[in-house]
Amino acid sequence: MAETPKSYEPKEIEARWYAEWMARGYFHADAAAPKAPFAIVIPPPNVTGSLHMGHALGTTIEDVFTRWRRMAAYNAMWLPGSDHAGIATQMVVERELREREKKSRHDIGRAAFVERVWDWRKRTGNRIFEQLKLMGCSLDWERAIFTMDPPYSAAVIEAFVRLHEDGLIYRARRLINWCPSCRTALSDLEVDYDEGTQGELYEFAYPLADGSGEVVVATTRPETMLGDTAVAVHPDDPRHRAKIGKKLRHPFVSREIPIIADAILVDPKFGTGAVKVTPAHDPNDFETGQRHNLAMISIFDEAGVVNKEGGPFAGLDRFAARKAVKAKLKELGLERGSKPHVHAVGHCQRCETVVEPMLSTQWFVKMEPLAKPAIEAVEQGKTKFVPETWSKTFFHWMHNIRDWCISRQLWWGHRIPAWYCAACNEAMVARTAPTACGKCGATELTQDEDVLDTWFSSWLWPFATLGWPNETRELKTFYPTTLLDTGYDILFFWVARMMMAGLYFMKKVPFRTVYLHTMVTDEKGEKMSKVKGNTIDPVEVIDKHGADALRFSLAWLTTSAAQGKNIKFAVGNAEDARRFANKIWNAKNFTLMNLDGYDADRFADRVADGPDRAEFDLPERWILSRVQRAAEMVDGALEEYRIADAAQAAYHFIWHELCDWYIELAKAGFARAGADVEARSKIQGALVTALETAMRLLHPFMPFITEEIWQQLPKPSGAPQSIMITLYPVRDVRFYDDASEASMALVQKVIVALRNIRTERKIPSSARVKALLAVGDDYKKTILEGYKTIIAEQGRCAEVRVRRSGASFSGEYQLSKMAMTMAGDVEVMVPLEGLVDTKDEAARLEAEKAKLEKRLGDLKRKLGDPKFVDRAPLEVVDKARAELAELEAALAKLVDGLRRLGGG
Ligand SMILES: [Zn+2]
Ligand SMILES: [Zn+2]
């Protein structure tokens, strides 16, 4: 689209207004303000992060609600912050260290490394905040917090100590997920499973120690046999019953392993019915080991290399060991075959390395007692999910929850507040470093080397950000928060855990509503990824088309999110939204050009109780009523978290009603009014009111352009200094005018019909036609008579004549030389003589008749379907019935017209 100099240029305007809002302190919410609170805490972006489309979507949604509520006189507070993102940040800084100084973190040591991370954060850690400002986010920056800030860290330690005191945190040697590359434990949630990995099911034999035969077992990971400490069979399996209790000889290490009976682990229908048991490297085997008191032998070191327990294979990487073990088994004649096997393989979420189940001493949180109150809170509706279907997913996970491994073998993060006594091994958990061992009094104490899982700090987010454990004014005012918006992918990582922590530490749910948005994909529905090269950088979109355009297009696209589908985004969506911005900008230009002599105070007085019907013309009564309907729709949709519906209702009003219709009507109105100041002022007032109200309605979605336009519009004295602090439009029923809306709808239909005739018959736009209207209903006839001028102006008619149906115009015009169409049940006819060729009117009418018949057939089928009639809302069914009646009348008239043509 060619850019004219008058088109909207977002860049300068957006930068100017954001700075202005900041300077005026509009984003800050005073916790002591005597207003109803509305609070959102931002899902803290990683300190390593830069803005991606997911953030753009989430922050658009959050800002829409915050701005909307702020304008509805709530004490709206949207709290910003960032997450230290332990493993992710550590990896970034390690990479930098390696690239710049060719050193590993071990080369410089823990203290120096942590120093580097802080330094890195100082240099780049606020980048995402700056990007959020470009988005127009009305975040309360004075409250910005980082999860490693001292007060926040104190809250993390407090939570750990309290849970430990209450017996909900324990240290134990358990089987955990280990990443041999990151060299840290991972929680179950940090492991991604590749469900369809093609592997093999490898069979080999363990010889019985007494030489009486062998037992064949199958495995997808032959190398783990180095850690086998039993073979299990089903107690009722006749193939193996006699062998239970006998010993097998391990071919590589000097131990005999027992044959045990276990009905839980073994499915006798699967394979040979004998299962090798590796308690130290498989979760099911671990449990079996506990049931049977088996030795648990770890065969790998932290890097996934076989340790001395692996006998001849020690020193081999786990995958090399797999090959070597197989080769050796073959050599010994113990290989019994292999077949292809599809199974799920766990990968580290950070680095994609295959995760190794490892036996390790770690810290855990006992989750079941925490999950219970969270389940109840959702059951009781104390927290609601939008869309509601997510509660099912939530319940399922919460009912099957497992203990959470919270220690990480990293350096960047909150160090675990536990100290160990060198003399007696006593472990002490404390808020501050103890000076002596509580058990033996020794003073040589060392702190646990590990740090806490990053999510252990993020699960405290809704209250630790507000000053917990202190009883602050902020907590009192803003907790529980009103709304949490986040991607559904972190429902368990974060949302469920915040529910648990909030209920445990605050005794109240952390948020009333959880809005779970879907993911933003590319236009084909593919996940955006740097590797695929299909990412869209929101900052680039903002640079080109403005933040308003990006925000509006995302809000618009949340339709698919409401249906649980991902949001397919293309830059074209932002271009469309930018065209919308241009349209509004042009409407503003038209308005400002026509405001000579306008007095905003006078107009405000005049419509203080709604417009006087006798004083205002139809277009003004109509637009003043329509803008209130739009307010009802937009505000109502936001109340129900239907963001896309809200955005679309605002768009529809502005584009189709205000710009396409009212501005055209106003042009004609101004032309008619000429120099009549009084007549002009009513049109001016309606125009300004409609546009000003529309800007407020649209403000939460497109904050910048709406502010700029709002500032330029005349307002009554005493108006606020910024659109941000005006009141959000809610329906004002004093402006509702059903009669005018019905009249206008009828007039619009006739005008559209006239325009269609002009287009279809290629009538030159300069030609003024005659319009002949015939209608059966007396009331409609009166309306059409009354608004002939408007019809003539908008339909470019020299003359408009209205008759009762049946009364014929044929005395005056030759029917065969008329174009005819239906506007609802109004016959619209245009004599074509002298304008265009008239011979194919009959064919055209036939085509229109076919169209009407098809629509009528569809409607009849729909209304004949009991499913539709019973399930659709009453007004939808009523509307369909009314349309049916109108279509039937229209068809009858068309048939009549055709008959007359045939006869004419
Ligand atoms: Zn990893
Ligand atoms: Zn001690």
Closest to 28 in 3D by CA, of 145, 144, 143, 140? 140
Q: Which residues contact 493 (CB under 8 A, 6 or more apart)?
A: 189, 455
Distance from Cα 533 to the centre of ligand 1, integer Å: 23
Mean pLDDT value of segment 685-702: 97
Bridge partner list, 200:
340
240 touches 274 (CB < 8 A): yes
Distance from Cα 304 to the centre of ligand 1, integer Å: 12
- Exposed, middle or buried: residue 209 (CB in 10 Å: 0-12, 13-18, 19+)? middle
Closest to 774 in 3D by CA, of 764, 766, 784? 784
Distance from Cα 531 to the centre of ligand 1, integer Å: 18
Residue 211, both tokens: 């030489």
> In which element (H, E) is residue 835 found?
none
Q: Which pLDDT value is given to residue 763?
A: 87
Q: Which pLDDT value is given to residue 839?
A: 62
Distance from Cα 406 to the centre of ligand 2, integer Å: 25
Q: Which pLDDT value is given to residue 879?
A: 87
Q: Which pLDDT value is given to residue 518?
A: 85
Nearest ligand to the CA atom of 302: 1
CA–CA distance, 39 with 76 (Å, rounded to integer): 6
Give per-residue pLDDT as tens, 710-743: 999 999 999 999 999 999 999 999 999 999 999 9
Q: Which residues surround ligand 1, an ion (CB under 5 A)?
A: 179, 181-182, 348, 350-351, 353
Distance from Cα 542 to the centre of ligand 2, integer Å: 61
> In which element (H, E) is residue 256 found?
strand 256-261
Helix, strand, coil: what percent of the chain each, to 5? 50, 20, 35
Residue 1, both tokens: 């689209």
Strand 418-421 relative to strand 404-405, pairing = unpaired
Bridge partner list, 169:
365
pLDDT band per the 50, 70, 90 thresholds, residue 3: very low
Q: Whole-number mean pLDDT of the chain? A: 91
Distance from Cα 322 to the centre of ligand 1, integer Å: 21
Distance from Cα 359 to the centre of ligand 2, integer Å: 26
Q: Which pLDDT value is given to residue 904?
A: 40
Give per-residue pLDDT as tens, 238-262: 998 899 999 999 999 888 999 999 9
Sheet holding 769-775, edge to edge: 797-804, 769-775, 826-831, 818-823
Bridge partner list, 77:
39
- The answer to whether residue 4 scores a pLDDT higher than 50 is no
Buried b (16+ CB within 10 A) or exposed e, 748-775: bbbbebbeebbeebebeeeeebbbbbbb
CB count within 10 Å of CB 2 equals: 4
pLDDT band per the 50, 70, 90 thresholds, residue 817: confident
End-to-end CA distance of the chain: 48
Distance from Cα 156 to the centre of ligand 2, integer Å: 26
Distance from Cα 225 to the centre of ligand 2, integer Å: 39
CA–CA distance, 685 with 604 (Å, rounded to integer): 8
Q: Which pLDDT value is given to residue 1?
A: 39
- The answer to whether residue 294 scores a pLDDT higher than 90 is yes
List Cα–Cα distances, 178 to 190, 293, 455, 661, in angstroms: 10, 23, 17, 65
Distance from Cα 302 to the centre of ligand 2, integer Å: 28
CA–CA distance, 474 with 480 (Å, rounded to integer): 11
Distance from Cα 449 to the centre of ligand 2, integer Å: 18
Strand 256-261 relative to strand 230-233, pairing = parallel
Q: What is the DSSP string of 510-546?
A: SEEEEEEE--EE-TTSPBP-TTTT----HHHHHHHH-
Instruction: State pTM to two decimals.
Output: 0.85
> In which element (H, E) is residue 714 found?
none
Distance from Cα 728 to the centre of ligand 1, integer Å: 49
Nearest ligand to the CA atom of 304: 1
Cα of 95 vs its chain's centroid, Å: 32
CA–CA distance, 554 with 53 (Å, rounded to integer): 9
- The answer to whether residue 177 scores a pLDDT higher than 80 is yes
- Which ranges of 229-365 does DSSP label H, i.e. alpha helix? 283-292, 318-331
Distance from Cα 438 to the centre of ligand 2, integer Å: 7
Mean pLDDT value of segment 584-591: 96
Indicate the residue type of 341: H
List Cα–Cα distances, 107 to 71, 112, 448, 844, in angstroms: 55, 10, 20, 86
Nearest ligand to the CA atom of 179: 1
Question: Could you tell me what percent of the chain has a pLDDT over 90?
Answer: 71
